[in-house]
């Protein structure tokens, strides 16, 4: 899909920000998800940092959420990162905390990139979870993040669900694409393939002078979920 520019009047080099957002709930440790993500992040980092064009055109960040959300790696050039930080087991699965943090962080990052003279494409968020949200009011925070009448920096969101994640929830959060692991697939194995898919997406999206968000095919053991199509009479 085509990425849209954040501020058409801007001039300067084009960059596409990527936010990897990972669930750190306790179940992610039990099912092997945290281990799989931590195993895959160094490969993701190396693949981006070692390609001069991809490194130049992309910026990457790592955010986690459980009871609260946290920026583990602020948005930056992959080549400026010595090593990606690891995710760790915490407690619950608070989606709202992730959405609130993303809204604030994306706005700050876009402001800083523009101040440095860059043109910024609409950010891409890769949202990874293995379960249902434990907070009942996350929809409000989600709307404030994704409604472009409320938030001009609303990102493109790609969701990946494994284990107990609900397909309808993953589909409702996604704005661009949604994926979920097939029944019976080991969550850790599915997440290894998902991290590889994220790597491919970032590399392919940033491999030209004009970045374009590229969604890879569903990884092994994972299926693509169709997003809702609005009826003709919906506004």
DSSP lists the bridge partners of residue 125 as: 19, 157
d(CA 96, CA 111): 23
Q: What is the pTM of this model?
A: 0.93
Read off the pLDDT of residues 126-184 as tens digits, 9 standing for 90 and up.
Answer: 999 999 999 999 999 999 999 999 999 999 999 999 999 999 999 999 999 999 999 99
CB count, 10 Å around CB of 91?
A: 12
Q: φ and ψ at 218, to 5 degrees? A: -60, 130
Q: In the chain, what is the greatest distance between 2 CA atoms, to the nearest angstrom? A: 52
d(CA 196, CA 97): 26
Q: In the prediction, which pLDDT does 11 show?
A: 64
> Hey, what are 83's tokens?
């090593």
The closest of 9, 127, 109, 23 to 69, measured between CA atoms, is 23
Among left, alpha and beta (phi > 0; psi -120 to 50; other), residue 34 is: alpha
Fold of 5-225: Rossmann fold (3.40.50)
Q: In the prediction, which pLDDT does 211 show?
A: 93
Q: In the prediction, which pLDDT does 12 show?
A: 85
Q: In the prediction, which pLDDT does 65 show?
A: 97
* DSSP alpha helix (H) spans, the chain: 26-30, 33-49, 52-57, 95-115, 138-146, 167-173, 187-205
Ranges of the chain with pLDDT below 50: 1-2, 7-9, 230-235
Instruction: Give Cα separations from 223 to 159, 171, 177, 220 (angstroms).
Output: 12, 12, 11, 8
């Amino acid at each position: 899909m085509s990425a849209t520019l954040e501020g058409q009047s801007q001039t300067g080099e084009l960059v596409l920000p990527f936010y990897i957002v990972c669930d750190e709930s306790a179940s992610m440790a039990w099912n092997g998800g945290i281990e799989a993500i931590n195993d895959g992040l160094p490969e993701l980092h190396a693949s981006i940092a070692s390609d001069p064009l991809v490194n130049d055109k992309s910026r990457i960040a790592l955010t986690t959420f459980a009871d609260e959300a946290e920026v583990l790696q602020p948005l930056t050039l992959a080549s400026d990162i010595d090593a990606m930080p690891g995710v760790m087991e915490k407690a619950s699965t608070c989606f709202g905390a992730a959405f609130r943090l993303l809204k604030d962080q994306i706005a700050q990052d876009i402001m800083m990139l523009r101040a440095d003279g860059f043109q910024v494409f609409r950010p891409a968020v890769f949202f990874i979870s293995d379960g249902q949200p434990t907070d009942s009011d996350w929809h409000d925070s989600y709307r404030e993040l994704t409604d472009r009448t409320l938030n001009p920096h609303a990102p493109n969101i790609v969701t990946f669900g494994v284990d107990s994640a609900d397909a309808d929830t993953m589909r409702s959060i996604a704005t661009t694409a949604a994926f979920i692991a097939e029944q019976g697939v080991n969550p850790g194995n599915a997440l290894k393939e998902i991290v590889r898919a994220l790597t491919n997406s970032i590399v392919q999206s940033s491999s030209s002078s004009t970045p374009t968000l590229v969604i890879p095919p569903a990884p092994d053991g994972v299926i693509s979920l169709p997003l809702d199509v609005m009826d003709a009479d919906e506004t």
